[in-house]
Structure formats: C-alpha cells, structure tokens
Structure 1
Amino acid sequence: MARILVVEDDVQLRENIQEQLELDTHEVRAAANGRQALELLPSFVPDLIVCDVVMPEMDGIEFIRVLKNSLDYRSIPFIFLTAKATQQDMINGLEEGAFDYLFKPFLRRELILKVNNITRQQADRSRYQPREVKEESGFQFITQFNTQLSQQFGNASLTAEKMAEALNMSRSAFQRSLVTFFGKNFSEIVKEYRLQKATTYLVQSDQSIQWIADRCGFSSLSYFSVCFKKATQTSPLSFRLKARQNLNS
C-alpha cells in the first residue's frame, strides 16, 4: 500500500481515480488544484502524486515547480494527467521533474500498473538498503529524537517542523522515520511522552496540577485534563490521590 495524492479539477474523474486506487488498497487524498494540494501536504506526505496538467488557480506545472524547490517534497514522483499534449509539452513536463504521463481517457489497468510500478521501485530501494545501514541509521534517529524530546517536551509550541529542523532533517524524511521506527505520528508520540512525565510529577511531587500541565507542555489546564482523562479514565487529581493511597496502604 502506498500514500497517493490525486490532484484533478474534474470532480467525477478525481473521485473515480481515488476510488480505483483505494480499491487497490492505497491510501489516497485528493485536491482540486495545486493550491489545495499544497495545503494538504503538511498533514499528508505522499509516496506519489497523480496530477492533472491544466487546472485553475495553480496548474500542474506550477505545482511541480513549487515542490521541486522544496527540500521536504522534491523527491516525490509525479505522474501527469493530460487530455492532449504535444511532444514539446511532454518534454517540458519531464524537464520539470515529471516521472511519467497518463493520457485521458486511460484504462483503469494502465493507471494501476503505472502507480504500482513506481511505488514498488521506491519500496525496493528502501528494502535492499544494507541491513546494517538501516539499523545504524534507525538507532541514531531514535537516540537523537529521544534526546530532543526530553529537552523540549515542555515547550507548548513544539511542532514537527521545529523538531525536524533540530535534527537537520526535512519534514517529510522526519515523518517517514517516525512511522518507520515508532509506528506513530509526531503528535501522538509527544502527547504520550508528556502524559508519562505528567504521571511522574503527579505521583512524585507536590506541584499543582496547573504547574504540571505547564511543565509538560500542555497549552492549558483544561486541555491537559481532557488528554489525561482520555488516557487513564480518571482526572489528574483523582489519579494522584489514588496513587498515594496505594503507596500508603
């Protein structure tokens, strides 16, 4: 399964492509033009982009130019969709970094084969990387990430972008590493870590609940209470009282 972004202004075609790719077990997001696609990228970094050439607001050529100038997204392969293209149009697209073309109307089988061939090549490059290199890079990433997290978890404005910058990584590479080595996204990992630290403070200190919420990077006491109760099925104060009763019994 691959993560695929479909960018197409024709609603019916866009929905049809999304449906076909999802039936082939891919995770798909869709946008009506390049501008909307750019808004999606921070929360959905795809393995492949299937993109129309002619679209309103931001067309495919302008969109690919923006991405190829970005450290975060320049390595994402493109398949361009076009109703008609001269040889020069195709050359222009390939010069901008397009991987392949699909000419409308195209067969479902053609779409699936091209998508799967490209995403399989990407997976194979990763799979056949020497095991010792993978293990070493994974260990380094986990160590560096945990070090940064232990130093910055109390910063309520900590973001994936800031953490990636601290690790000298692009956002997309950072997100992929989190999923590979932790199996979770950035917000999930940070929230779990903050709640673990909060639990320690509740049991081992006499600091107020407000102080603990602030110290652990929660933006407000109410948000901390909601997150804590969702994770433990009890309020921070009740958790503290019960923990101390157990220690004294």
Structure 2
Amino acid sequence: MPELPEVELFRRYFNATALHQSIDRTQVLAPSLLVDASPQGLGRALKRNRFQSTSRHGKYLFAQLDTGKCLVLHFGMSGRLDYGKRDRGPPEYTRFSVRFESGYQLDYVAPRKLGRIALTDSPEAWVAQRQLGPDALAIGEEEFVHLAGGRRAGVKSWLMDQQSIAGIGNEYSDEILFHAGMHPQRKLTELRKSDFGRLFKKMRAVLQTAIDSDVDAEQLPRAFLLPHRHRDGRCPGCDVRLETVKVAGRTAWFCPKCQQR
C-alpha cells in the first residue's frame, strides 16, 4: 500500500509533470472511486482550469486548482500516477485521467480499485472531517508523546492509526519499530519517555530516508528491514530469521533477537 513516502513521491511527480497546464477534459473509468462527486461534476470543475500547487497530508494528495478547489487523491492498496502523451493510450488499470491541451495526460492507475478521488474546497476541512491525526513528518516530539498519552494500544497499532498519526501503514510501522528495537506487540503503557523519544526520532528518520531513496529497495540502506520482509528473510543486523505476528489484523515482521518483547 502506498504510505507517506510513496505519496510524497507522487506529489513531487505531480509537480514535475502536471502543474500550470490547461485541462482539456477528464475521464472517469471507475465512478465507484469518486467520493461525493459525479464524473460530470468532476469534469466541469477541472475543465479549462489549471493545477497551481500540491500538498500532502498523510496518505492524501491535494492538487490545488486556480479556482480554489482541490482535487483529492488517495491511492488505496496499489495506486500510482502515470504521465505521458495522450496518443500512447492509457496504462492498464487506469481509473481516472486528466487530459491537457498540450496533448499529454495524467493517469491515476489503481489495479485493485481501492483508492479515492474527490474535490474539496479546503484540504484542512477534508482532514478535519475524516478526523485524521497530524502528518507524521509535520509533528513535533512533544505532540507525538502527548498523542500517545493515556492510550492502551499496542505500539504498532497506534502508529498505523490514521486518527492518531497520518501516513504510516503496515510496512513502515514495521521498519520504524525495527530501528527503535521494539516488539510490534509492545504496549504504549510499557514505554518510558526515553522510548517515545527514540521512537519519534526513528519514525522521522525512516520516513525521510525512504523518500530520499525514492522508495527503491535497491537504494535503501542495507540496514533497512523492508527488503527482507518475506518468507525466509533474515535480519539485516544480526542475520536471525525474521518472524511474523498478527497485529490489528495485519502481518507484522520483526527480528526476535533485536526486538525482544
């Protein structure tokens, strides 16, 4: 699933390809992905206008139009963006296309149809309506510790809770906990202040490193867990075979030696 680092790269890709171009028309191939919008209404809102800027909150990408409206994109389990000449034809699994007068188009590709497409007058209002927590890269350490106060959840479940902190999913919560040396089933109530400080620093470092590495397994540091999260995978630190456990219905990967309960 695209998490904060992937969506940040999508945002930068959007900036590099689709800004400041006059929109000729749109095509919605999967109306079920629209939230409080119709294909016709979305088309009218975008036609003859231009995207001026983008922003991101957690896993949501916002593209600001010159009218003040914002296109909202959520990428679900497998979504991505693809930009190219219109005459090439859309990529397979394209669900939504923005066609520009330049002859190019931006395609929203989602094989599993689990994303979301919408319009909003305000990204802040959209975030508030969905009760999303602060973005994981915009939060400070003091607020991070405050959000965990009084919670009895497991640390992995809490990191993945979008209403606590927005942007972290199953894969990056595993990576963060691996670098923090914490078992995924450890409870927040078991953590000391120093543990929260370490967790916060590792969260920021992991997410930023993933972005700087273009979320490419071959460019990630050798000490990262992500390339080893598979059957027979071994810890990049101690070479012990990785284990899995179910947390909040998701499969958590961890090193039984480096992340003891």
Q: TM-score range by the shorter chain?
A: under 0.3
TM-score by length of structure 1 reads: 0.26
More strand by percentage: 2
Determine which structure has the larger helix proportion and give its number: 1
Q: Which has the larger radius of gyration?
A: 1
Higher relative contact order (CA 8 A, sep 6+): 2
